[in-house]
Amino acid sequence: MSPALLSALPTVNAVLNGTSAILLLTGFLFIRQRRVMAHKICMLSAFVTSIIFLISYLTLRYFSGFTSFPGQGWIRPVYFTILISHTILAATIPPLAVTVLYRAFREQFTKHRWIARLTLPVWFYVSVTGVIVYLMLYRLYPSP
């Protein structure tokens, strides 16, 4: 993989995470307004965006490994608290997202709503904290 593309992937990943967060929030607002088709489009788009993110993230990790956080002092435990919660919850998103979409496609809306009420805040948190981790790691405290 070219070094230029590899160096762009962290930013691409942050944009994908931010896009996913916006789509999730917009989809939630649409369903609250009973705009079902717009809700479906946003949620499917958030799912596709997250899949693209996962592929891009795994590609980045495969070719460049993990980046150490160089920040010192009080910011270090803040960063690792965000990173650890983000990482643990991120591992739950694929099965939760697949389940919530499966329930919707099968028109099992009572079950869909139940799992969506758990999935949405977790997925949104993971998307937003993904952007925060990027900002802390690559913009606020970049490696020398």
Q: What is the pLDDT of residue 27?
A: 98
Q: What is the pLDDT of residue 121?
A: 98
pTM for this predicted structure: 0.95
CA distances 20 to 56, 74, 81, 106, Å, are 14, 30, 22, 23
Note the Cα 52 to chain centre separation in Å. Answer: 10
Q: What is the pLDDT of residue 1?
A: 80
Confidence of residue 75 (pLDDT cuts 50, 70, 90): very high
3-state SS, residue 68: coil
Burial 107-143 (b: 16+ CB within 10 A, else e): eeeeebeebbeebbeebbbbbbbbbbbbebbbeeeee
Identify the domain containing residue 21 by its residue range. 3-140
Q: What is the pLDDT of residue 143?
A: 83
For residues 82 and 40, what is the distance between their CA atoms, to the nearest angstrom? Answer: 30
| Total of domains in the chain | 1
> Average pLDDT of 116-139?
98
